[in-house]
Amino acid sequence: MFVDRAKIIIKSGKGGDGAVTFRREPFVPQGGPDGGDGGDGGDVIFQADRNLRTLMDFKYKRKYEAEAGQNGMKKKRFGKDGEDLIIKVPMGTVILDQETGKIMKDLVEDGEKFVAAKGGRGGKGNVHFKNSVRQAPNFAEAGGAAKERNVILELKLIADVGLVGFPNVGKSSLLAISTSAQPKIANYHFTTIDPNLGVVQIYDESFVMADIAGIIEGASEGLGMGFKFLKHIERTKVLIHVVDVSGSEGRSPIDDFEKINRELEAYSPRILKKPMLVAANKIDMIEEDDPKYIEFKEYVEGKGYKVFPMSAPLDMGVQELLSAALQELRAVEANPVEEEDPAEYFDFEAEENDPTYRDIYVDYDEEAGVFTIEGKQLTKIFNSTNFNDMGSLRYLYKYIEKNGAIEQLKEMGLEEGDIIRIHNYELEYYDEF
């Protein structure tokens, strides 16, 4: 079963908490702090693997989570870092952030890796919070939070040559006769419901050819399975446009040729900039001097494309077509063209350097009659607080005061005895803390 799209949830490992421990030593208050740091949480890493061809595994397992970092220990021993989680995907997999729709990474090369969710940093042990006033800190830093993301995996086949054309024009037959691939072939529309790949061996060289399942008029607007098929054409270097020149379906070969080109251009104008050869298939069903074929040939060549008369089932004209495709491929690889990438990419650097990380937000909950304080850095300090220790509570309060939250709350009407809520914890405000 070929699966080329999947939605999954990934979660990095939480950072281990710093330890609150004290060593036994004479003449040192409470023996002195010796709590070690927590280990870093594991990252979630995607890796391209040439041995994979489909995203089918992600249909059965939807959630992937890296290992959390170990908590710090006494005697300044650090916790163990969490194991990274490596998720292998086929080459050509695009990873998108579901929330923004932006591309996080496009994995093209075999073995290429990408960190999609970094693990939380390990928290500092209480040994780091000792100073001249606070000789025996009874608190430590909590480990960094895990990062959870909903991501979309989208596979776009990587092929050198792509076969395009209406359903039932002979693309599967051409792939079968040219390669060792064994696509399903039958005389009805949409026999091929998934792209097929095969390797063409010619002149001691080889290239990968893909049969892109039948495109119909309106595919660029999503009709039929348009988007599912069209996206696999984007990575091909050379196109072979297969046309039924016998008119066996009752359609005009010129109309077929134009309609498919319009769909390709509507989906992405870059596609029609690729080299294209035109395979005039089913030539055995008509005479080569047939007026309709001559009209088709002159029309297509007038557009600047080469026409190759052929019959895939009879292996007639196939080698000439493949030789021409190989020449076009050589030319493309010898003179690669840099194309502008219109896609929007996820900004990881901006996320890592979040300017709002230290911001504190205050509000008044009229229904509960309490003042509230929120903030990302505040959450980390809050999670590190030992609410049974006055020194730890004072550390939390000083952070809030230093960042201007108390002054903002006073401007909103905060008075002694009022309740301040931080997450699920409520404390009573006094001018002297």
Residue 424 included in any domain: yes
Residue 124 included in any domain: yes
Residue 202 included in any domain: yes
Residue 203 and residue 98 share a domain: no
For 314-393, list the strands marked E by DSSP. Answer: 361-365, 370-374
Q: Are 174 and 281 in contact (CB under 8 A)?
A: yes
State the DSSP string of 267-320. Answer: H-TTGGGS-EEEEEE-GGGS-TT-HHHHHHHHHHHHTT-EEEE-BTTTTBSHHH
Q: Which of 186, 205, 208, 206 is nearest to 195 (CA)?
A: 208
Residue 106 and residue 56 share a domain: yes
Residue 264 and residue 207 share a domain: yes
Residue 316 and residue 168 share a domain: yes
Residue 346 included in any domain: no
Residue 91 maps to which CATH number? 2.70.210.12
Which pTM was predicted? Answer: 0.75
Residue 366 and residue 405 share a domain: yes
Instruction: Name all contacts of 404-407 with Cβ < 8 Å and 24+ positions apart.
Output: 404/360, 405/360, 405/362, 405/373
- What pLDDT, in 10s, does the model give residues 31-76? 788 999 999 999 999 999 988 888 888 988 999 999 999 999 998 9
CA atoms within 13 A on the CB side of 326: 16
pLDDT of amino acid 187: 47
| Residue 11 lies in domain | 5-155
Band of the pLDDT at 249, cuts 50, 70, 90? confident
Query: Does an H or E element contain 330, and which?
Result: helix 318-334
- What pLDDT, in 10s, does the model give residues 255-303? 999 988 988 888 888 888 899 999 999 999 988 788 889 999 999 999 9
Q: How many domains are there within the chain? A: 3
- Average of per-residue pLDDT across 384-404: 84
